[in-house]
Amino acid sequence: NAGVMQNPRHLVRRRGQEARLRCSPMKGHSHVYWYRQLPEEGLKFMVYLQKENIIDESGMPKERFSAEFPKEGPSILRIQQVVRGDSAAYFCASSPRPQGDTDTQYFGPGTRLTVL
Amino acid sequence: DQQVKQNSPSLSVQEGRISILNCDYTNSMFDYFLWYKKYPAEGPTFLISISSIKDKNEDGRFTVFLNKSAKHLSLHIVPSQPGDSAVYFCAAISLLNRDDKIIFGKGTRLHILP
């Protein structure tokens, strides 16, 4: 059973471009979470999605950031008009049930975004 | 506002000795605590957890202690091995509130010395 997959592993963008980060959850997992880790910081929650639904986006910046988890295909975290401050490692995690019913989320290897 | 605090950015321990990583939290609604281990260029991996109804949970070389009154938990690794060198994140969640956000500390980098 493959783990959580994220691609690309490294992404370089110039200011003003768009960044698309993809996350394929573990087989059988329908709950996806995105976290961002800034340098020298812990991981910070951004958004929680189930198939075709955003459940909690309280950690997502109001502008330029969006996330989706379509019925088919991976979850996508999209950052429009990237700025230098968006440079970070973005981690996706998945779980088979809501967090309240399980004791852990399984993390992917992360996408390191660098904005020039 | 840092709800989960790991005040030691790094820690060096001799191989074979005990490693003790500390964590403090401020939110009294947290009722479930987790430790994650992270190697460079990899995602965090779950290590051990503890519910607030317990004060100790043990899994092999890893033991987590919870002191609710002090809002403090610690991870003990004994004996420490070279492969334990990694960044350890303390994390907390409020299951009673059915909150899905895991709140992470900033991490402690553990170096196991030969």
Question: Which residue did the predictor score with more confidence, A97 or B45?
Answer: B45
As a whole-number percent, the residues of chain B with pLDDT over 70 amount to: 96
Q: Give the CB-side neighbour count of residue A39, counting CA atoms within 13 A.
A: 6
pLDDT digit string (tens) for chain A, length 116 residues = 579 999 999 999 999 999 999 999 998 888 999 999 988 788 899 999 998 899 989 999 989 999 999 988 999 999 999 999 999 999 999 988 765 555 578 899 999 999 99
Q: Shortest CB distance from A99 goes to which of B42, B100, B107?
A: B100
Q: What is the mean pLDDT of residues B68-75?
A: 96
What per-residue confidence (pLDDT) applies to A28? Answer: 85
* DSSP symbol at B101: P
pLDDT of B21-35, one tens digit each? 999 999 999 989 999
Q: What tokens does A14 get?
A: 């110039």
Q: B34 contacts in A (CB within 8 Å)?
A: 103-104
What per-residue confidence (pLDDT) applies to A99? Answer: 57
DSSP string, A66-115: EEE--SSS-EEEEE-S--GGG-EEEEEEEESS-GGGSS--EE---EEEEE
Measured distance CA(A105)–CA(A103) in Å, rounded: 7
Q: Do A43 and B89 touch (CB under 8 A)?
A: yes
Q: Do B100 and A98 touch (CB under 8 A)?
A: yes
Determine which of A78-87, B9-18, B86-95 has the lowest per-residue pLDDT on average: B86-95
